[in-house]
Structure 1
Amino acid sequence: MTVTAFAALHHADTPLLLPNAWDHASVAALAAEGFEAIGTTSLGVAAAAGLPDGSAATRDLTLGLTLQLGQGPFLLSVDAEGGFSDDPDEVARVARELAAAGAVGINLEDGLGSAGLHAAKIAAVKAAVPGLFVNARTDTYWLGDGAETMKRLEAYQQAGADCVFVPGLTDDKRIAALVKSLDVPLNILYSPSGPAFPHLADLGVRRVSLGSYLYRRALGAALEGVADIRAGRPPRGPAPTYAEVQALSAP
């Protein structure tokens, strides 16, 4: 599998549904379900290690996870927060390390900081690793009112982004309008309260990420299970057997 294959998934008949994992077992389980491409979730990686997300605290953990997973039978896209640095050259260095470890894509978020700085990071990554698929995220709907969205996305496109990501946007009309205004694929974050996957496809979205949802869902299932047991009820929902989980770590 190649970087070109990953880019092609953003232009297929069906949008790329990208589940996001946080460790070897979660990636292996998703790969066993037939997902051709899998992303990582920075929140899941950070929370599993007791570290805050979005604070550049998981650089080494992220690289280590990529080294562990990057040679698997799937395409791996890595959530690298804001590149773990405000220095574009250092972000490019991180991108080279991730690509060398087997990543075919990188997700870079602006955290609603300087659009110019984020564009410089994107440009530095594309100059250093031209084949690495850059998904440029803007947090205009998570940390703002969405007013700067198109202005930022235009800057990120011009800097070389292969795809742009607008988490928090769930309005049908705004999504459709963005699709028509962009030169690169649009990535939307799935929300249980937002448009369903088939409807996002109808709107022209080319990539739907699950972000931290699966990690949070797993925590929710654990709490629900222990609550059932404490209340004397059989736990609801399926659980893999010990042997099935062991098999995920088989060579």
Structure 2
Amino acid sequence: MTAFADLHHADAPLLLPNAWDHASALALAAQGFPAIGTTSLAVAAAAGLPDGAAATREQTLLLARTLGSAPFLLSVDAEGGFGDDPDEVAELARELYALGAVGINLEDGLGPADRHAAKIAAVRAAAPGLFVNARTDTYWLGDGEGTTSRLDAFLRAGAHGVFVPGLDDPREIAALVRGLDGVPLNVLYSPTGPSVPHLADLGVRRISLGSLLYRRALGAAVEAAVDIRAGRPVAGGRAPSYEEMQMLSRRADGE
């Protein structure tokens, strides 16, 4: 865990892009990103299942199995641990760590804070090598009320860092950073929110891209198909060649 934890205390914040399959993860790593996260929305959408409904445990483990031995540090978005039983969440953490993951993201979904804290404590005991990023949805699903008390409970349970998606007001971010007294704060990047340099100045230590890349990729694919059907030139960025895609697979084979 040390190398991954160290990235949260470097000179610049950890910008964590979130991949959804082998090719997206290896392509991002090839651009120099030392750590890659997964995105639960993409895992669920690819399987035709709802996100945040504890329906994708097996799909998440399959993706971790695919990526765990790749040449980057892997952090897995595990929703709320795919269950309410701390022992079951602990078993998931053990499996992820055995597959090569170095981090796990656990969200509270605004459920009872003590239950989420129990999951965190169980994960710490079962997989001490995993960096536990404890997410609260007070801003994502609510108005921000209760953020501090929830994060305090999660930190007492052993979380290494905290994640507050939906928090994008600079003054509120700065105040939360001050209150955390050195604990790494993770926020979700928003195209309409503060820039990465601004977030760095505010003291944010980890910036996740969440499902943004997946949604952009899906949007670009649909837009290209519609343009082709209409006889228009395909807009957007350069598409990787067939040979470049094959190279990603060869890298996984160690060639």
TM-score interval, normalised by the smaller of the two chains? over 0.9
Note the residue ranges of structure 2 that are not aligned, 5 or more in a row: none
What does residue 197 of structure 2 align with? 198
What does residue 246 of structure 1 align with? 246
Match for 2:118: what amino acid?
A
Q: Once the two structures are aligned, what percentage of the paired residues are identical?
A: 75
What does residue 85 of structure 2 align with? 87
Distance in 2 separating the partners of 1:174 and 1:51: 34
Note the residue ranges of structure 1 that are not aligned, 5 or more in a row: none
Superposition deviation, residue 34 in structure 1: 1.1
The correspondence for 2:164, drawn from 163, 166, 177, is 166
Q: TM-score, normalised by structure 2?
A: 0.96
Match for 1:25: what amino acid?
A
User: Is 1:211 equivalent to 2:210 in the alignment?
Assistant: yes
Listed one character per residue, the Cα deviations across residues 197-238 of structure 1 (whole Å, up to 9, x for unaligned) are: 010000000000000000001011112212222232111121
What does residue 18 of structure 2 align with? 20
The correspondence for 2:32, drawn from 34, 58, 79, is 34
What does residue 139 of structure 2 align with? 141
Listed one character per residue, the Cα deviations across residues 31-54 of structure 1 (whole Å, up to 9, x for unaligned) are: 111110000000011111111111
Distance in 1 separating the partners of 2:208 and 2:58: 23
**Structure 2 counterparts to residues 107-146 of structure 1, below 5 A:** 107-146=105-144
Match for 1:231: what amino acid?
A
Greater mean alpha carbon deviation, residues 43-52 or residues 5-14 = 43-52
Superposition deviation, residue 108 in structure 1: 0.1
Distance in 2 separating the partners of 1:130 and 1:24: 26
Distance in 2 separating the partners of 1:32 and 1:46: 25
Secondary structure in 2 aligned to 1:76? strand
Secondary structure in 1 aligned to 2:23? helix
Greater mean alpha carbon deviation, residues 57-66 or residues 226-235 = 226-235
Distance in 2 separating the partners of 1:77 and 1:194: 24
Match for 2:217: what amino acid?
A
Distance in 2 separating the partners of 1:163 and 1:142: 17
Secondary structure in 2 aligned to 1:78? strand
Superposition deviation, residue 243 in structure 1: 1.5
Secondary structure in 2 aligned to 1:106? strand
What does residue 187 of structure 1 align with? 186
Distance in 2 separating the partners of 1:150 and 1:235: 47
Secondary structure in 2 aligned to 1:11? coil
Distance in 1 separating the partners of 2:196 and 2:223: 26
Distance in 1 separating the partners of 2:131 and 2:105: 9
Q: TM-score, normalised by structure 1?
A: 0.97
Secondary structure in 2 aligned to 1:200? helix
Please list every run of at least 4 consecutive aligned residues from structure 1 whose deviation after the TM superposition is greater than 2 angstroms: none
What does residue 59 of structure 1 align with? 57
Distance in 2 separating the partners of 1:32 and 1:185: 26
Distance in 2 separating the partners of 1:188 and 1:229: 37
**Structure 2 counterparts to residues 65-84 of structure 1, below 5 A:** 65-84=63-82
What does residue 154 of structure 1 align with? 152
Distance in 2 separating the partners of 1:230 and 1:60: 37
Distance in 1 separating the partners of 2:48 and 2:243: 28
Distance in 1 separating the partners of 2:143 and 2:4: 32
